[in-house]
Amino acid sequence: MQEFDYDLFVIGAGSGGVRAARIAASHGARVAIAEEYRVGGTCVIRGCVPKKILVYASRFADDFEDAAGFGWSLERPKFDWPTLIAAKDNELARLEGAYRATLDKFHVELVMERATVSGPNEVKLAQSGRIVSAKIILIATGGRPNIDPKLPGIEHVITSNEAFHLKEMPRRVVIAGGGYIAVEFASIFNGLGADVTLIYRGGKILRGFDEDLRDALTAAMTKRGIRIVASQVFTKIEKTGGGLVGYSTTGEALTADAIMFAIGRSPNTAGLGLEAAGVKLDGEGAVVVDGASQSSVPSIYAVGDVTNRVNLTPVAIREGHAFADTVFGNKHWSVDYSTIPTAVFATPEIGTVGFTEHEARAQFGEVDIYKGSFRPMKAILAGRDERMLMKLIVERKSDRVVGVHVFGPDAAEIVQMAAIALRMGATKADFDQTMALHPSAGEELVTLREKWVAPGEAAG
């Protein structure tokens, strides 16, 4: 039998790579993992975690405002961006340390340099020039933010990567994009007091989400002072004495201290040597894999965003875990992609799981819709004129709940729990028979009784 330096060499110490490395090692494999930037990957270093910290920071503005309705009087609160960024960086350093400690505990060798594939069983380390062999190679290199490289003035823009490290809080921000990262950053900067404009190619933000949620968030963001410029893109960006100026398709000049692009992400495969090694990539550069995360080269696997399946941390982690158990632990399982809950941490936030109304109608034909819209209890005394929205989508034939969509405070927390019910195949009758927890917002999900009837449609 051929001898290799390692049983497994992982490229990329992010969500998927670290999980795969440590599980494979726990099964007795000799594992190394290469990382070119920081251990923890996008989620920990420049994604979910720092973003949620900024989201928390931005929401204190509402809390200060709302407190007055409950008898509190506060001096005018002041916000200091460098203090927030330093606190965030401390927390990231702590988390990175925890990731390193885990790898260490499982005797995974950490190689802090860029790695590329130089053959089906060979990895080249860029800095040291070392070539190592491995029985199995796992590509877990994640994704990177897209920009429009041909746009004049593109050198002046930032992406989410840089947004976390700005020296000063920009007072005027223009964000290009309408996906979840774009709207989250719009809410962050809005909450922290900036003047925010979102410019978006499509007609409506959050493509792929339920229409009611898209409309509700658009209305709430607009009411909070975020300007949404739909069906427009930038034609050029200029740096002037008064700041950056982005020109839209209609010729409107949008002036800002920072212009951020959040127009999607692409798999990180450029220059990785995959095609030369025979690994098939799709049109967007993602590694093509089968249900077991195996590429067209049997010794090379890939998990996480680099495969462009569902680009979320828990999915990458689970793919890495399934891969390691299957290949090194003789425990064969694969990831179930059917009910993945997801959130948009805008303010107010969105939590969603299962089919949108549109998808459910296409998939099941006859569906029943239950909707409730109400002012959350806290908002009433606070004098905050914002409503929560809850929506259940039920397959009429089986009575199964196939979609839960929540818009408003704590939507993500509520939907995480609802996802368990959905996965178990809960019916609307199960929801109805579940005792309400009072007073809560979540109780609305088990007390929705009236079917919503679309104009012109007869109730089933």
Taking the CA atoms of 377, 378, 383 and 389 in sequence, report the sign of the dihedral they define: negative
Specify the residue, 52 or 396, whose C-beta has the smaller distance to ligand FAD: 52
Residue 279 Ramachandran class (φ > 0 left, ψ -120 to 50 alpha, else beta): beta
Q: Candidates 23, 25, 29, 43: give the one binding ligand FAD (CB under 6 A).
A: 43
Q: Which stretch binds ligand FAD (CB under 6 A): 75-83, 224-232, 304-312, 439-447?
A: 304-312
Q: Is residue 348 near ligand FAD by the rule CB under 6 A?
A: no
Q: Which stretch binds ligand FAD (CB under 6 A): 21-29, 41-49, 253-261, 436-444?
A: 41-49
Specify the residue, 42 or 356, whose C-beta has the smaller distance to ligand FAD: 42
**What is the Cα–Cα distance from 260 to 269, expressed in whole angstroms?**
23
Binding to ligand FAD (CB under 6 A) within 266-285 occurs at 268, 272
Specify the residue, 188 or 369, whose C-beta has the smaller distance to ligand FAD: 188
Q: Is residue 354 near ligand FAD by the rule CB under 6 A?
A: no
Query: DSSP for 365-421?
Result: S-EEEEEEEE--HHHHHHT----EEEEEEEETTT-BEEEEEEESTTHHHHHHHHHHH
Nearest approach, Cβ of residue 29 and ligand FAD (Å): 18
Q: Is residue 178 near ligand FAD by the rule CB under 6 A?
A: no
Q: Which amino acid is at 215?
A: D
Name the nearest CA neighbour of 163 among 54, 12, 58: 54
Rg (CA), the chain: 24
User: What is the enclosing helix (H) or strand (E) of 261?
Assistant: strand 258-261
Q: Is residue 24 near ligand FAD by the rule CB under 6 A?
A: no
Q: Check: CB of residue 259 under 8 Å from CB of residue 172.
A: no
Specify the residue, 179 or 376, whose C-beta has the smaller distance to ligand FAD: 179
Q: Candidates 42, 58, 293, 295: give the one binding ligand FAD (CB under 6 A).
A: 42
Strands 131-139 and 122-125: antiparallel
Q: Candidates 8, 10, 13, 95: give the one binding ligand FAD (CB under 6 A).
A: 13
Q: Candidates 31, 34, 186, 379: give the one binding ligand FAD (CB under 6 A).
A: 34
Q: Candidates 114, 171, 371, 423: give the one binding ligand FAD (CB under 6 A).
A: 114
137 phi, psi to nearest 5 deg:
-115, 135
3-state helix, strand, coil in the chain (%, to 5): 35, 25, 40
Q: Which amino acid is at 100?
A: R
Q: Which stretch binds ligand FAD (CB under 6 A): 217-225, 231-239, 274-282, 301-309?
A: 301-309
Q: Is residue 136 near ligand FAD by the rule CB under 6 A?
A: no
- Helices 15-26, 313-328: inter-axial angle, 10-degree rounding: 30
Q: Is residue 62 near ligand FAD by the rule CB under 6 A?
A: no
Strands 342-344 and 388-395: unpaired
Tokens of 266: 């692409």
Q: Check: CB of residue 20 under 8 Å from CB of residue 48.
A: no
DSSP class of residue 193?
T
Q: Is residue 341 near ligand FAD by the rule CB under 6 A?
A: no
Q: Is 438 tagged catalytic?
A: yes
Specify the residue, 349 or 368, whose C-beta has the smaller distance to ligand FAD: 349
Q: Which stretch binds ligand FAD (CB under 6 A): 62-70, 212-220, 303-311, 431-439?
A: 303-311
Q: Is residue 106 near ligand FAD by the rule CB under 6 A?
A: no
Q: Check: CB of residue 384 under 8 Å from CB of residue 62.
A: yes
Q: Is residue 15 near ligand FAD by the rule CB under 6 A?
A: yes
Q: Candidates 181, 414, 418, 419: give the one binding ligand FAD (CB under 6 A).
A: 181
Specify the residue, 160 or 190, whose C-beta has the smaller distance to ligand FAD: 160
- For residue 352, the tally of other CB atoms under 10 A from its CB is 27
Q: Is residue 35 near ligand FAD by the rule CB under 6 A?
A: yes
Nearest approach, Cβ of residue 407 and ligand FAD (Å): 17
Our CA dihedral for 214, 387, 394, 311, rounded to 10 degrees, sits at 40
Q: Candidates 12, 179, 348, 403: give the one binding ligand FAD (CB under 6 A).
A: 12
Nearest approach, Cβ of residue 336 and ligand FAD (Å): 16
3-state secondary structure 13-56: CCHHHHHHHHHHHHCCCCEEEECCCCCCHHHHHHCHHHHHHHHH
Query: By the criterion CB under 6 A, which residues form the site for ligand FAD?
Result: 11-17, 34-37, 41-43, 47-48, 51, 114-116, 140-142, 160, 181, 268, 272, 304-306, 311-314, 316
Active-site residue list: 438
